[in-house]
Amino acid sequence: MPTLSEGRISIRPIRLRDARPLERELLANRSWLREWEATNPNGPIGFDTRGSIRSLQANARAGVGLPFVMEYDGQLAGQLNVSSIAHGSLSSATIGYWVAERFAGRNVTPVSVALATDWVFFTMGLHRLEICIRPENAPSLRVVEKLGFRYEGLRRRYIHINGDWRDHFCFALVAEEVRGGVLRRWQEGRVPEGAGVVPQADRDAAKVPGTHDKL
């Protein structure tokens, strides 16, 4: 796994010795992150950071994941994980992340996502990368708008988040859309206008109370 940098921001492979600093950040940002945390529909999951890191590293060795730590000026700022990596005819992956509140607004997330996406496309040779975001998560929606991830649709009750099955908006890019790189396209102001914008009809559908209960 690589270490990738752009200015003051970098992503590097997660290490076991990150467990304690990660725990500190997760606890300090509990109220900031809880609304977006994946949960277990069959019951609570223990808080085991070292076990989680070992699992992520095992996925990396198996070639199905790329677990990164995001850093700002060398300080741990969050995590980014490329998961569900598939090769062959699918050649795709999914990306997820969290950032500590004190680093919000410093472009840590969009730069990190762009670095990871460019690595996945141009070094690993994958074809498609997907990001799924809760309709209520305005900061993450701004990330995909900045980088020009294309909106693909509303997924009902897609992931169990914060104690319930939650709707998600799905965004994606394929390598042919960003031949010069996601980071470079964004920095040069060439992101297609409206690429990451969710249609109002889907925004309205995601707000309808009780809609997901009928599915």
Token pair belonging to 145: 């708008």
Residue 169 CA to residue 189 CA, distance in Å, equals: 24
pLDDT at 183 over 50: yes
What stretches of 42-92 show up as alpha helix (H) in DSSP? 49-62
pLDDT at 98 over 70: yes
In what helix (H) or strand (E) does residue 161 lie, and over which residues does it extend? strand 150-161
Q: What are the tens digits of pLDDT across the range 72-86? A: 999 999 999 999 999
Banded model confidence at residue 208, pLDDT cuts 50, 70, 90 = low
Residue 85 CA to residue 140 CA, distance in Å, equals: 21
pLDDT at 212 over 70: no
Q: Which residues are registered as beta bridge partners of 5?
A: 10
**Residues with Cβ within 8 Å of residue 27, at least 6 apart in sequence:** none
Banded model confidence at residue 211, pLDDT cuts 50, 70, 90 = very low
Average pLDDT, the chain: 89
pLDDT at 38 over 80: no
In terms of pLDDT, which residue wins out, 86 or 32?
86
Helix (H, G, I), strand (E, B) or coil at 195: coil
Q: Which fold has domain 4-214?
A: Aminopeptidase (3.40.630)
What integer is the mean pLDDT of 20-27? 90
pLDDT at 166: 85
Using CA atoms, how far residue 203 sits from 96, 141, 195, 199, 209, in Å, is 21, 12, 15, 6, 12
pLDDT at 214 over 80: no
Banded model confidence at residue 195, pLDDT cuts 50, 70, 90 = confident
With a pLDDT cut of 70, the percent of the chain lying above it is 91
Helix (H, G, I), strand (E, B) or coil at 86: strand
Residue 58 CA to residue 33 CA, distance in Å, equals: 25
